[in-house]
Structure 1
Amino acid sequence: MTGAVRLEPVDEGNLEPLLSVAAAEAEPEDVMPPVEAPAGWSLARRDAFRDFYRASFGGLEGPTRTRMYAIIAGGEVVGMVRMTRCAEPGTVETGMWLGRSARGQGLGAAALRELLHAAAAAGMHTVVAETTPDNRGAISVLEKCGAELREDGGKLRAKMCLDSALPAR
């Protein structure tokens, strides 16, 4: 399964499988903004997850200016990658999460490569990301996709220019 992924826009058809992976293999704070709800994957937190992901159904032109994609590997949903329009024209910010069982297999880099191609197809020129200097998994994915990395105020900022050759799929 290493590296073989496809992206599907998050919609009602894959929202419940995405929630199932999140609830079984991720912490709520890793896959959605904080909400006032009982700890863990309570019913209220599951509802908030659905609401958060449904808000992106409008895509880059919608109210959240975000397109979320379910990451599919081996025919199963294993995580999510997104792009969100930035104030700077032609620039989107990306973020991703994978269920624990999908980590360390090259799927993150494959998903980011697919996202870079989707961003270029949407007319974007630059993809940026932010992580922490101790997030070795994210740093590895960004490096494999040719990101220019710089530390700034305790954060690691990544920039990927789409005007040059895109990473091979």
Structure 2
Amino acid sequence: MAVRQMDEEALEELLAVAVADAVPDEVMPPVAGPPGWTAQRREAFREWHRSRFPGLGGPLRESTFTIVHDGEVVGSARLALSDSHDSHDVLETGMWLGRSQRGHGIGTAALRLLLDEAAKAGARTVVADTLAHNSAALGALRRNGATLTTSRDSVDVLAELTPRQTPREPSAPSAE
């Protein structure tokens, strides 16, 4: 199990996973046009990730990673400087997994590793937004020690996590 900084080779592997095992709305910002993985949408997916290659110090202040399980790319994760903070103390995170990879503990393990990446970047807090009905995300967040806050007037849940200051050794995901 690993999270690896995105590069051009990994990006093509990730796009193949997205096309085979996800719908565009799950894995990228909306793109106008017909539904499905059109040529325009595939190129927009590539450009979205390429624009983040410079990482947290780049103009978009965001890094993307591949999630690798058993030697195969199975999804993507991101860390971004929080818009509400000017330092590396608070990072935002998000991730997606191919549909066939969900429900196997991979998201929980990947989040653990992503928290280690956040600690290496100097983050003291990592925040994530998800929907109240996303039980898989909520479970992964809880298993990683998140404090969850639900908004009264929406279906959004804000999760706050604290990275360990000493990154952990990678471990295999557990069956969940």
Partner Cα separation in structure 2 for residue 15 and residue 35 of structure 1: 18
Partner Cα separation in structure 1 for residue 158 and residue 128 of structure 2: 6
Which of residues 24, 27, 32 in structure 1 aligns to 2:23?
27
Unaligned runs of 5+ in 2: 171-176
* Counterpart residue type for residue 161 of structure 2: M
Contact 1:22–1:28 (CA under 8 A) maintained in structure 2: yes
Unaligned runs of 5+ in 1: none
The 4+ residue runs of structure 1 with deviation greater than 4 A are 163-169
Give the match's secondary structure for 2:142. Answer: helix
Contact 1:25–1:99 (CA under 8 A) maintained in structure 2: yes
Contact 1:150–1:156 (CA under 8 A) maintained in structure 2: yes
Contact 1:38–1:44 (CA under 8 A) maintained in structure 2: no
Give the match's secondary structure for 2:109. Answer: helix
Partner Cα separation in structure 1 for residue 29 and residue 121 of structure 2: 26
Contact 2:92–2:126 (CA under 8 A) maintained in structure 1: yes
Contact 1:68–1:82 (CA under 8 A) maintained in structure 2: yes
Deviation at 1:37, TM superposition (A): 2.6
Determine the structure 2 residue equivalent to 1:162.
163
Question: What RMSD, in angstroms, separates the aligned Cα atoms of the two structures?
Answer: 1.6
Give the match's secondary structure for 2:160. Answer: strand
Partner Cα separation in structure 1 for residue 80 and residue 56 of structure 2: 7
Distance 1:121 1:166, change over 3 A: closer
TM-score (norm. length: structure 1): 0.93
